[in-house]
Structure 1
């Protein structure tokens, strides 16, 4: 397929190599092998004169940063955080080889094509283009290929923020995902910009009952029955809608009739949002999902201990203490029988819908889609941008999709079988990053 520009050609070629490197993160420390993608990126930047720095907190778990110093030390810097790892595949469910980067009918198929290697490739191509131009940007530009994002960044951006926080600037950061469209009911358009993300409040609930032989259960408190009742009560929790400016602006962007709009603002009628119902509910609620249940090892032994693990995602302003109180209230008379253990806990983070970088994003969107409103949203999952916000910077999800590529379409591709990205969206994202870098850094 003919590419619009050599820059787009470079990005799509790089994307395919990143997919073929198969840097699969199965959430264990020795998986990932992001060194393969780090080496690919280092070859991609060979001869450009950029400063290169590698980070390897665990063997083969390599992140890599490429920096072009700005001409004005006082100018705003820009850091592009693109992750290089991908999630595992269920191979029998794929009809395309997940690591062949096959291009068919205007699509590139492969694990990580959408999440987020096409953005990573666009970031790299634009950064290299700035380096090859021979003209320094006003502010410093850094592109980072981050390892381990799919496992919450402990061996990637999170490790860098903790151990090497001065390796590059966290002041203004871009990463996944943004620039998809909201399907307004009147046929108008709106573009999404991701300004924040929910936190983590993982819990393990433990109960104890009577041990014994499976053949003689009479008179014994059965631990499995107890944990089942705990799971039932937790699953029945219904949290209130968190109505704020972001939720209200998001709902109004769909231009529903007044009754539907008011119902959504009150936290009902999610079915009116179609394939965005689940995401929209998650964006507006603390969510609690029982995901792991463990009890017993042998079929003829009554277990004395059982565990229930919960994936809980808080919104900005919802504390870990509030979540424990909610769980204990739901457990009722069983609360004193349940031990609540904190696993991964992270507060939600959000950046302002104002400031130089946000305004540059809005203006860049306007270059491509004049007059189309921009709608800030909260991501239900996590990204490396939370580390930038914790370091005192701002972080936004930024990419760009063709008209008709809705937020629902993009979300459905994340971690899916036969994951793909439209070649036209790769090219549009490259153009958008190039325009934004020019606008923000004068590059």
Structure 2
């Protein structure tokens, strides 16, 4: 059996793998030919090269729906077909960078003052590396788990998984189990008002309700606009009305439990529960608003081409994120109501639409998460949250499984500080958090699959 040339120690191996994944620069710019995650798939194959030396077979499967867009799965079959399986969904692509805004090499994986810098360090290559290291460590232990254990390095997560987990769920649904899945993010700390601690676990994520609003007007020469029905003026009014929409705050969990976990005074707590004032949450204000509301963000505006021509068509695109239980029909009704007397003139086109997904705060995998958190931070309460963005977990939930965001951070890393790092310039992760996450995954794997 070939040697992987990676350290055998769990945490050393995780750090070495993380640095290589960053250096591979699998940048996904949302086009089919970007990403080229085959580089990280090849690295993961080398990482697992010696995993079978103790006699435990690790089955590798590669999937390439488009040239270079490779996802890869490594599976250790369990000894008991009736035991609960576990699948760890890591993604291997990263978002683009504005190199001029970085003070370090975005693909250098430099370690400076206890942090590893590089695009994807937080989102989510440190978790991907920890997952891979935990599964490799199980194989090297020489003892097969009772339940089947799989690690998947997914391509294309940053473009909503059409060439990654989404493709796998549709075209290779039986390649591994979707019954119990873990992915990004979790294990950061809440800045509780009384100074005590609380840990975050992600139990769901918002959906997608992307829309294009199109309006028509009169064509004509730019030198004679008098009396024309101006498409640009109308789309500006459409944008103003859409931006003024104020959806109701949710009354459903996990929002109320999340608010109460901060232990604010009664007046502050009530202001948060009814959505009237988020300022007490500081860095978490924007995220918390998104967690408690359907959100509508105007992001793309198009009209015209030549400066001397009145365009006859203009459109506005909206990034809309519904909460669990909110339907696409609800979104259309909200938009129509806001448009008022313009509604009959506006064509509403559905773009990407996906319902929100939510897993229960109960069951074997959730209990294993709670027990693992308690091992590392004894007695600290765990607070369920919903991710404002998307992850590959939604595909498992839609196939009837459960999925949770799981990692682990040191006490100083709050939910706000972690969220601020995602997709940022000089993205980085604390070495301590890489080590904690690797140890936490190894512990949870042992606890859940035996």
Alignment TM-score > 0.5, same fold: yes
How far the C-alpha of 1:263 sits from its partner, in A, is: 1.1
Matches within 5 A, 1:46-61: 46-48=49-51, 49-61=57-69
C-alpha offsets along residues 229-253 of structure 1, whole Å, 9 cap, x if unaligned?
0000000000110111211100000
Among 95, 108, 114, the alignment partner of 1:100 is 108
Which of 24, 32, 35 matches 2:27?
A: 24
Matches within 5 A, 1:78-97: 78-97=86-105
| SS of corresponding position for 1:61 | coil
Aligned residues: 439
**Deviation readout 1:192-234 (Å, 9 max, x if unpaired):** 0000000000000000000001011111111100000000000
Residue by residue over 1:10-57, the C-alpha shift from the partner in whole angstroms, topping out at 9 and shown as x without a partner, is 000000000000000000011000000000001110132310000100
Q: Which residue of 2 aligns with 1:378?
A: 386
- Corresponding residue to 1:250 among 243, 258, 261: 258
CA displacement at 1:164 relative to structure 2: 0.6
Match of residue 47 from structure 2: 44
Which of 408, 419, 423 in structure 1 is aligned with 2:431? 423
Residue 31 of structure 1 aligns to a residue whose secondary structure is coil
User: 2:4 matched to which residue of 1?
Assistant: none
Partner Cα distance (1:420, 1:5) in 2 = 24
List alignment gaps of at least 5 residues for structure 2.
1-6, 52-56
The structure 1 residue matched to 2:268, chosen from 250, 260, 269, is 260
Which residue does the alignment assign to 1:435?
A: 443
Q: Distance in 2 between matches of 1:260 and 1:5?
A: 50
Partner Cα distance (1:377, 1:268) in 2: 20
| Match of residue 405 from structure 2 | 397
2:278 to 248, 252, 270: 270
User: Do residues 210 (structure 1) and 213 (structure 2) align?
Assistant: no
TM-score of the pair, normalised by structure 2:
0.97
Q: Residues 102-160 of structure 1, C-alpha deviation per residue, up to 9 Å, x if partnerless?
A: 00100000000000000000000010010111110000000000000000000000000
Query: Using the alignment, how far apart are the partners of 1:113 and 1:328 within structure 2?
Result: 42
- SS for the counterpart of 1:58 is coil
> Which residue is 2:418 aligned to?
410
TM-score (norm 1): 0.98
User: The residue matched to 1:242 in structure 2 has which SS?
Assistant: coil
4+ residue runs over 4 A deviation: none
RMSD between aligned residues: 0.9
Question: Is 1:186 the counterpart of 2:194 in the alignment?
Answer: yes
1:315 matches 2:318 = no
